[in-house]
Structure 1
Amino acid sequence: MTAGKNWNWKGDLMGGASAALAAVPVELVYGLFAVAPLGSVYANHGLRAAVWGCVLGGLLGAVFRCTGGMLTGSRPATGLILGALASSLLHHPDIQSARDPLALIFILLLSCTAFAGAMQWLFGVARVGRALKFVPYPVLAGLLCGVACLMTLSALRPIVGVGNGTPWSNVFGVWHPLSAIVAFVTLAVCVKGPKLTKRIPGVVLALFVGTAVHHALVALFGVGMLGSTSGHIDGLVPELSVLQGLREFGPAMLIDWVPTLAPFALSIAAFASLETMLCLSSIESATHVRANGDRELRVQGLANLLAGSFGATPAVGNLSRVVMNVSTGGRTPVSGLAYAAVMALVALVAGHWVGLVPSAVTAGILLFYANAMVDDGVRRLVRQVMRQRSQFAPEQYRTLLVNVTVVFLVALVAVFGGMMKAVGVGVVAAVVIFVHSSMKPPIRRVYACKNCRSLKVRTPAHMEILEAEGGRIAVIEVDGTLFFGTADRLAVEAERVASEASLIIIDMQRVRDVDPTGARTLLQIARKLRGKKVRVAIAGAPRLIESFLTAMGLSVEIPVTDWHADLDVALECAEDELLAKHGVDDCHATVRLSETALTAGLTPMQVDILSGYMNRRVLASEGRVFGQGDAGESVFVATDSVVDILIPLNDGRQKRVASFAPGIVFGEMALLEGKPRSADAVVKGPSAVLELARYRLDEIMQAHPEIACQVLHNLSVILAGRLRLTTQALRLQAEG
């Protein structure tokens, strides 16, 4: 999205500036995650690298034309991954032997950022943005819950006023109890701030209120009762960068660390890409403009590649800042420029004031964001598993239990094993969930067609034949993916059904994919059942799946006449064949008026009188009896051809909703209601229909009231019968 003649520059400036002000206290918290293992001496470096990442993210996003409304910044997950990398590097012999170990570690953290940016760019080139949207929810939720737990743990020591390096066994010997008051006041303002004022973001208000409370308590009780303050931001551009590391340590040395950095960089790239997809979904919902996820990954990847090279830690899509930006009016990359400018101004002008912010305040803000990372979906899942078991079927409850288990497993690994292992467990869990969902039984339902019919309405005599013989037609509805893990279930079910059926229709309209094993299984089913004198027909297979099955040789065993567009057509053909075996051809039979349900109960003389009031309309091939919207002034009787009832679709096609064999009455609803026709009625071939107009029925009512009453009674019976069939179909669908 670029600026045009209707560009709302005020919205962009306000959106970017508001998001920047709200981001400052957050960057104070997240900026320390990556450098926490390096001690307080590197706190200033961590804060500057985080803010510098936000500034470069806004600037480079505008230069590379990022998605309008997108803002980037530090995220706890990426900071924790860098922190885990820093911890592992501290104990490495090559690091310990370096002339400046901490500087080398920090430069390797920046190198990991650049490396992650390159990977994110490759993600965009490989077009994996769409795939990332389909990461299973329990895996993503588990990772976020793990990050929330780690954030909470990192806040516990500052809450009681001690440093993060203090052993837990010594905490209560050196703690500062009043720091807890500052932390919980800050947390309370974060929660209640939006209700107090809409003009100041809750976190910004909490920053000022918490800091004021801290210094007021210092004035009353002294420094000894409260914890320390945060490190200050001494400038904007970091002192260390990858480019400086290349000069100081040499390219060869940094290249040697690539295998060590690669898994951490890959994890950061994956997290950054997921966060970006979430942000794009929010932007699309607010602006109603479809974003290009792969392009945004390339833009952010290139930005992080450059940012890491020039001394910044990762800046990725930040949902809270995006929401604030877009809701305030930010719509173009110009909002990113405003965001970068305000962040830089705060660092340059007020950076030294950051040192007044107590650690307890940042801990309170950290608790607020940790709680926000555990979304309502996780809470709802836990509540359902713990308290609402009786409301779910056993299979549904097992599915819920599996999902909750995955959430907690990934979160626990993140807390006790580290973020890297949690990412690995998440990948494995995603595969397990995919296989579990794909391995579900492919059979949706199986039924004989004794009480299930096509949409074709037939005469009562023909319906009696179908009710008696319909059990010879069976339908197997297949659902999901037909692959090596599920195809055998279909083979077993088909063999079981074949013991009672002479025709098996495999309904594949809900099949999403078929692999070679699934295609081979279908071929073997058709071949084996043919030896038992049982035919197999395919209905509703999507075009791509049908082409694949044909290419795999299934058309050799199942002739083209047994491939049907949908289940209704397949059922109609099966019914026609069944009736033909009993000497009935109701597709082309000529039916006299006396043989129709309209004249039931009338004497031959009364039928002749009724016939005199009816008009015979001759129609050519594919002729239309009436159209949607036409006045409903007549009832019709098909005499020698099938009549289809069609409704038009938005894409120009038509959908059949009913079909009437010769001898069937149709169009009676509009006649009785006096409303326009709701569909088209079309004959399949050259035909004639008998028409009884409303005004002619009124004439019969005057001249032959007994005939008119019987006709109306017959129409009521016809409608009742169709309602009963509809009820049976709905019951069967509900049972499936």
Structure 2
Amino acid sequence: MMDGKLMKSRPEAEGVMTTPNDEALPTGWARWRDDLVGGLVGALFVMPAVLGCGLVVFQPLGAGFQSLGIQAAFGATIAAALLRGLIGGRGLQINAPRATQAALLGGLLTQAGQVAATGGHEVAAAPMVAITVLALAVAGLAQMLLGLLRLGDALKFVPQPVIAGFVNGFALVILVQQLPYLLGLPDGVGLRALLTGAAGVTPGALALGLAAAVGVWRLGERRFVVPGPLVGLVGGAALYQLALTVTDGAIALGTTVKAPPPGLPVSWIWPGVTELIAHPVFTAMAPSILVTGLTLGMISSIQSLLSAAAADALLRARHDSSRELLTQGGANLLSAAIGGTVTGGSPLYTRVAIHNGARTDRANLFVGLALLAAALGLSPLLELVPVSVMAAMVIVTVLRPDDWTWQLITLLRRTKMPQARAELIQNLAIVLVVALLVATADALVALAVGMGASVIVYLRRAAVSVVRRSYRGDRVHSQTGRSDVDMERLERHGGSIAVMELHGPVFFGSAENLARQAEALAEGCQTLILDLARVNDVESTGVLVLRRLDERLSRAGVTLLLAGLSKGRGLRVLLRDMGYDQPEREGRIHGDLETALAAAEDQLLKRLAGGRDEDEEMPLAEHPSLYGLTRAQFDLLSLTTRRLCFAPGDRILTEGTTDDSQFFLVRGRVRVERRLPGEEHGVRIGTIRSGAVFGEMALLTGEPRSADVVADSEVVCHELTADDIAMLDNIDPAISFILLRNVAIEVTQKVRRMSRTASLSDA
């Protein structure tokens, strides 16, 4: 069934203003006119749903209750439309009865019949109808309570596969219920009688139903002013009357729908409620009535909120979830009071109304009035419609999977990636299991199993994805400036440092898997770094597993460093408050991965150098940037340079200055900073340690300094200016050539290391 559009868009004219989405929004009487047209077209499209739902709700009571079911559906839809039109929500939404939800009430009636038969009780019609009324009242009260507690947004966290499973499960229930009517079986006879041979198919009734169904199906997705099922009902009724005339009643064509009694579609059901409460069946059915009502309220609320969200997208508006639930609950409570059935927001009929001009909930007034007029004058026409044709229209309506399930199936057919296909198959499996449980067991069981399966799927995904990437320190180094000798040592021995970058939550579902991977990566290493910068949460079990991992690594001689835990970060405080404070006490927590990797490299180089500390001054003759100089060349250079000492915090170079010196660092470490506008302190962008050189680029290019260089510890360095190099050139030009060659070698090695790191990141 597709939405038609009776009104074409018109150019902006007098009496029309524009909305934020650049559509013309009529004012004054034009708004009333468009809401009138949109409401009338919406009512036309809603009518087949009303008839189909009426056929479903009291189906377990037999064909004699078809007229009462249609009356209940009309009454509920009219009450909901008028209530919305009078009090409204924040945004337009058209309510309609849902056959899938009505099937839940029908299942309750089936259960009540079984309970009565088991206990040897007879239950009159009025108390049986009152069972659905009480369940509907519970649903309405539950929706209103959710609205009052402002829990509308919380319902959106029910997984979509579970919702889709309920929708498809109810559709399956309806299909099974309507097949006997389509086949023309006698009233009260089910499919089991057909299979055992106790009853036979009525070919004429089946032919009429199939002809109407095929006709509507062939209409497909074509835009049509009149909804397809309504065309099918009219066409089927016409074929029925034509066949009666031509055959003169010689061919059995099945029965026709029993029309509701003339007058207002309202039933006084409260005597039946009091009779039910006094009946022995009520005690056995009370828990089921309560559970069914709560389930119905939740499902109706979720679908109504999803429908409201779809209407928001069309109108560029935002609905109030709490007010929407209060309105929907009030509508269902009112429906229960007049003997109606369940209704809820419908994205299809809302879209129809919007596309035909409706913009406010005032359109619901015209939907309600139009349906009321149809209910008052429709009885003679309904008696012309064959039951098999009505059943065929209901089956056509529910036969297609819901849109979300259909999207999953389409994506599964198109997607070739194994991981994406596995996720789609998991979602479809949840949909299928929930649908089968709804059809064969109980809605509450289906909800529990669906939620449980969704949680298990989520835990499996979270457990698999906690490790973002891992690597060794011989492939990726920190950005710390070091001598060529130190870098060569890191290239050769850096594999004793392992890094594991994490992301997502570390909890009971992922922590053990993380611990196993971390221990496997740490084999043969001296230091393991866990980068927690992208970890958004660690729960108690995750903290316990991290502490045990630290203890096992320590016994194996591996030092664990935690990175990405800056001072004041909540995760750092959480680890300390939960008793895992040993890393902080021992100085094994670092604010970012760069500083943690640099610290691990420092410890490794210190071990490789036989314990020599960076605070020991390196002889200038051993500085790697002076390799290749002869003894005489070095003596000449050493007489030219100046030995400078700096205390921690001293600024050695200043960003933007044009001095032309380079510095050979022989003791301590310095940090490179960039100053941000309006900030007193700079941002660290790198660290340089003893054995490296800094300031050489400004010397070579003549450009201003690009960053500050500040002493991080007691620093000793030797300064060489451009004037010094010019003087050396006059004495021995080979000295400046050797210095320039060493700088070029160092830059080339830096580029090679950066390329290797970039290739690892891409991988």
TM-score, scaled relative to structure 2: 0.73
Deviation at 1:172, TM superposition (A): 2.6
Cα separation, partners in 2 of 1:516 and 1:419, compared to 1, 3 Å: closer
In structure 2, what is the equivalent of residue 101 of structure 1?
Answer: 124
In structure 2, what is the equivalent of residue 552 of structure 1?
Answer: 578
Q: Does 1:140 align with 2:163?
A: yes
SS of residue paired to 2:560? strand
Match of 1:429 among 422, 442, 453: 453
CA distance in structure 2 between the partners assigned to 1:75 and 1:546 by the alignment: 51
Deviation at 1:192, TM superposition (A): 4.1
Cα separation, partners in 2 of 1:503 and 1:18, compared to 1, 3 Å: farther
In structure 1, what is the equivalent of residue 11 of structure 2?
Answer: none
In structure 1, what is the equivalent of residue 728 of structure 2?
Answer: none
CA distance in structure 2 between the partners assigned to 1:297 and 1:711 by the alignment: 78
- Asked whether the 8 Å contact 1:536–1:558 carries over to 2, the reply is no
- Asked whether the 8 Å contact 2:185–2:202 carries over to 1, the reply is no
CA distance in structure 1 between the partners assigned to 2:243 and 2:507 by the alignment: 68
- Asked whether the 8 Å contact 1:454–1:572 carries over to 2, the reply is yes
In structure 1, what is the equivalent of residue 267 of structure 2?
Answer: 240
In structure 2, what is the equivalent of residue 574 of structure 1?
Answer: 600
CA distance in structure 1 between the partners assigned to 2:255 and 2:592 by the alignment: 72
- Asked whether the 8 Å contact 1:475–1:505 carries over to 2, the reply is yes
Cα separation, partners in 2 of 1:104 and 1:448, compared to 1, 3 Å: same
CA distance in structure 2 between the partners assigned to 1:51 and 1:488 by the alignment: 57
Larger radius of gyration: 2
In structure 1, what is the equivalent of residue 218 of structure 2?
Answer: 188
Give the partner amino acid of 1:187. W
Q: What CA deviation, in whole Å up to 9, does each residue of 1:566-612 have, x standing for no partner?
A: 434433443455456658999999999x9999x9999999x99xx9x
CA distance in structure 2 between the partners assigned to 1:55 and 1:733 by the alignment: 62
Match of 1:260 among 267, 284, 288: 288
Match of 2:67 among 32, 41, 44: 44
Give the partner amino acid of 1:36. Q
- Asked whether the 8 Å contact 2:38–2:353 carries over to 1, the reply is yes
Cα separation, partners in 2 of 1:252 and 1:709, compared to 1, 3 Å: farther
CA distance in structure 1 between the partners assigned to 2:379 and 2:736 by the alignment: 94
Q: How does 1:449-598 map to 2 (within 5 A)?
A: 449-455=473-479, 460-540=484-564, 543-559=569-585, 561-578=587-604, 582=609
In structure 2, what is the equivalent of residue 19 of structure 1?
Answer: 42
In structure 2, what is the equivalent of residue 643 of structure 1?
Answer: 672
SS of residue paired to 2:212? helix
Match of 2:112 among 89, 112, 117: 89
- Asked whether the 8 Å contact 1:587–1:661 carries over to 2, the reply is no
SS of residue paired to 1:353? helix
Match of 1:339 among 341, 352, 367: 367
Cα separation, partners in 2 of 1:165 and 1:733, compared to 1, 3 Å: farther
Give the partner amino acid of 2:100. A
Q: Does 1:55 align with 2:81?
A: no
- Asked whether the 8 Å contact 2:64–2:258 carries over to 1, the reply is no
SS of residue paired to 1:32? helix
Deviation at 1:275, TM superposition (A): 1.0
SS of residue paired to 1:415? helix
Deviation at 1:22, TM superposition (A): 1.0
Deviation at 1:352, TM superposition (A): 4.3
CA distance in structure 1 between the partners assigned to 2:297 and 2:509 by the alignment: 33
CA distance in structure 2 between the partners assigned to 1:337 and 1:637 by the alignment: 84
Cα separation, partners in 2 of 1:440 and 1:173, compared to 1, 3 Å: same
Give the partner amino acid of 1:319. P
Q: Does 1:275 align with 2:298?
A: no
Cα separation, partners in 2 of 1:502 and 1:112, compared to 1, 3 Å: same
Give the partner amino acid of 1:171. G
- Asked whether the 8 Å contact 2:75–2:338 carries over to 1, the reply is no
In structure 1, what is the equivalent of residue 12 of structure 2?
Answer: none
CA distance in structure 2 between the partners assigned to 1:276 and 1:180 by the alignment: 32
Deviation at 1:34, TM superposition (A): 1.5
Cα separation, partners in 2 of 1:517 and 1:249, compared to 1, 3 Å: closer
- Asked whether the 8 Å contact 2:505–2:535 carries over to 1, the reply is yes
SS of residue paired to 2:91? coil
Deviation at 1:21, TM superposition (A): 1.8
CA distance in structure 1 between the partners assigned to 2:671 and 2:146 by the alignment: 56
Give the partner amino acid of 1:500. G
Match of 1:373 among 396, 402, 418: 402
Match of 2:337 among 309, 315, 320: 309
- Asked whether the 8 Å contact 1:450–1:469 carries over to 2, the reply is yes
Deviation at 1:637, TM superposition (A): 10
In structure 1, what is the equivalent of residue 257 of structure 2?
Answer: 230
Q: Which runs of no fewer than 5 residues in structure 2 stay unpaired?
A: 1-16, 20-24, 641-648, 722-733
Aligned residues: 689
Give the partner amino acid of 1:547. V
Deviation at 1:552, TM superposition (A): 0.3
CA distance in structure 2 between the partners assigned to 1:685 and 1:433 by the alignment: 52
Cα separation, partners in 2 of 1:32 and 1:726, compared to 1, 3 Å: farther
Deviation at 1:5, TM superposition (A): 11
In structure 2, what is the equivalent of residue 701 of structure 1?
Answer: none
Q: What CA deviation, in whole Å up to 9, does each residue of 1:367-396 have, x standing for no partner?
A: 244214263234246647xx96xx526xx6
Cα separation, partners in 2 of 1:287 and 1:104, compared to 1, 3 Å: same
- Asked whether the 8 Å contact 1:511–1:541 carries over to 2, the reply is no
- Asked whether the 8 Å contact 1:456–1:660 carries over to 2, the reply is yes
Match of 1:151 among 174, 179, 195: 174
In structure 2, what is the equivalent of residue 392 of structure 1?
Answer: 418
SS of residue paired to 1:505? strand
CA distance in structure 2 between the partners assigned to 1:327 and 1:219 by the alignment: 41
Q: What CA deviation, in whole Å up to 9, does each residue of 1:648-690 have, x standing for no partner?
A: 9xxx9x998964648688999xx99x9xx9xx966667999x9
Deviation at 1:37, TM superposition (A): 0.8
TM-score, scaled relative to structure 1: 0.76
CA distance in structure 1 between the partners assigned to 2:695 and 2:260 by the alignment: 82
Q: What CA deviation, in whole Å up to 9, does each residue of 1:323-355 have, x standing for no partner?
A: 334444544433333433333333234454344
Give the partner amino acid of 2:363. S
CA distance in structure 1 between the partners assigned to 2:134 and 2:710 by the alignment: 72
Cα separation, partners in 2 of 1:62 and 1:180, compared to 1, 3 Å: closer
Match of 1:165 among 188, 200, 203: 188
Give the partner amino acid of 1:17. L
In structure 2, what is the equivalent of residue 300 of structure 1?
Answer: 328
Q: What CA deviation, in whole Å up to 9, does each residue of 1:54-81 have, x standing for no partner?
A: 2222333455543412332222331111
In structure 2, what is the equivalent of residue 73 of structure 1?
Answer: 96
- Asked whether the 8 Å contact 2:437–2:445 carries over to 1, the reply is yes
Cα separation, partners in 2 of 1:301 and 1:719, compared to 1, 3 Å: farther
Give the partner amino acid of 1:33. V
Q: What CA deviation, in whole Å up to 9, does each residue of 1:128-177 have, x standing for no partner?
A: 54443333344333333323333333443444445663444223356532
Q: Which runs of no fewer than 5 residues in structure 1 stay unpaired?
A: 612-619, 628-633, 693-705
- Asked whether the 8 Å contact 1:413–1:422 carries over to 2, the reply is yes
CA distance in structure 1 between the partners assigned to 2:330 and 2:301 by the alignment: 13
Cα separation, partners in 2 of 1:65 and 1:567, compared to 1, 3 Å: farther
In structure 1, what is the equivalent of residue 393 of structure 2?
Answer: 364
Cα separation, partners in 2 of 1:109 and 1:550, compared to 1, 3 Å: same
Give the partner amino acid of 1:134. F
Q: What CA deviation, in whole Å up to 9, does each residue of 1:504-549 have, x standing for no partner?
A: 2222344344332221222233344345553322233694443332
- Asked whether the 8 Å contact 2:311–2:347 carries over to 1, the reply is no
- Asked whether the 8 Å contact 1:160–1:178 carries over to 2, the reply is no
Deviation at 1:109, TM superposition (A): 0.2
In structure 2, what is the equivalent of residue 33 of structure 1?
Answer: 56
